[in-house]
Amino acid sequence: MPKAGQRHRIGYALEPKKMQSFISPSLLDYASERGVDLIRIDPEKPLSEQGPFDCVIHKLYDPDWKIQLRNFSAKNPNVPIIDSPDSIEQLHNRISMLEVVTKLQISKGFKDIGIPKQVVVFDKEGFVDSVRGLKFPVLAKHLMANGSPDSHKMLLVFDNEGLEKVDTPVVLQEFVNHGGSIFKVYVVGENATCVKRKSLPDISEEKLKTLNGSISFSQISNLATSNAGCDEANVEKVEMPPLGFVVEIARAMREALGLNLFNFDVIRDSREEDRYLVIDINYFPGYAKMPSFESVLTDFFLEIVHEKKCKETGEVADDNVEDTNGEVLS
């Protein structure tokens, strides 16, 4: 806990929609009780004229904001910026995003981690050649994952005919049966919280023979209804990934990306029980959906401020700051 009267100022620069979901009364109240004040940053005004701040968190991508951050850091080199715009940009491209996973340094003895087979197609003429190495069905995802409306549009494609509705550039990702459940891992600094959610239903070889063309994700419910065997999967009974495995993957991914605030989606390959696949990574996700997000975020802010003060005073950081690292919840 902070000393009596000691306050820490965390500046945040977010789009209105993100601000509404993230800066909740429960977070403001909990943080305030721990001595942390969350201060809104107006991106329309010079950042150097706002503050002072002990830390700045943000999710803005326009060039003017990047210039503001650069100028602010030059004048305030000791104030942490969470996170670096250059590091965040890795997650704006679905190819570079998942390439990170293939290069993770994981301790021996852990379960297998990888990504689904995928290709990127830049023009319509490249479709036929590109899909030769993939097995239908495939997921068609926009190449850019920058939060724009188009970046969220996805198609489940069953054959070459279905590719005609796909716009380029696009990432084609082989669909992998995964028991109708997905694991979402929220990373906040050294904390990793895993939750399970309902996902797309499995598609049997027999069922695949009756499907053609493509369907959008808004129509996936139709597929689930017609594919009752997979739709009946009880997510509550799905076994969670081992705690140590989740924490190890989160640690390795955090180091590889150079990021503190992100989440990644993981599925368990139904063909291989011990094989997990990362299918997506998002920067600064909807933390309000994460259990105990108020305490996890506040602990993180206090850790950042603690490390900042240690650097300023030359002290060695200790482990006295409260945290909830490695918590896994269903």
User: Annotated binding residues for ATP, as ranges?
Assistant: 94, 141, 173-184, 199
Binding residues for 1D-myo-inositol 1,3,4-trisphosphate: 18, 59, 152, 184, 282, 286
Residues in the chain: 330
Q: What are phi and psi of 18, to 5 degrees?
A: -70, -40
Binding residues for Mg(2+): 265, 280, 282
CB 195 within 8 A of CB 182: no
**H, E, C per residue of 13-59:** EECHHHHHHHCCHHHHHHHHHCCEEEEECCCCCCHHHCCCCCEEEEE
Closest C-alpha to 194, from 298, 260, 281, 265: 265
Binding residues: 18, 59, 94, 141, 152, 173-184, 199, 265, 280, 282, 286
**H, E, C per residue of 127-184:** HHHHHHHCCCCEEEEECECCCCHHHHCEEEECCCHHHHHCCCCEEEEECCCCCCEEEE
**Partner residues linked to 214 by β-bridges:** 157
* Strands of the 36-40 sheet, one edge to the other: 36-40, 8-14, 55-59, 81-82
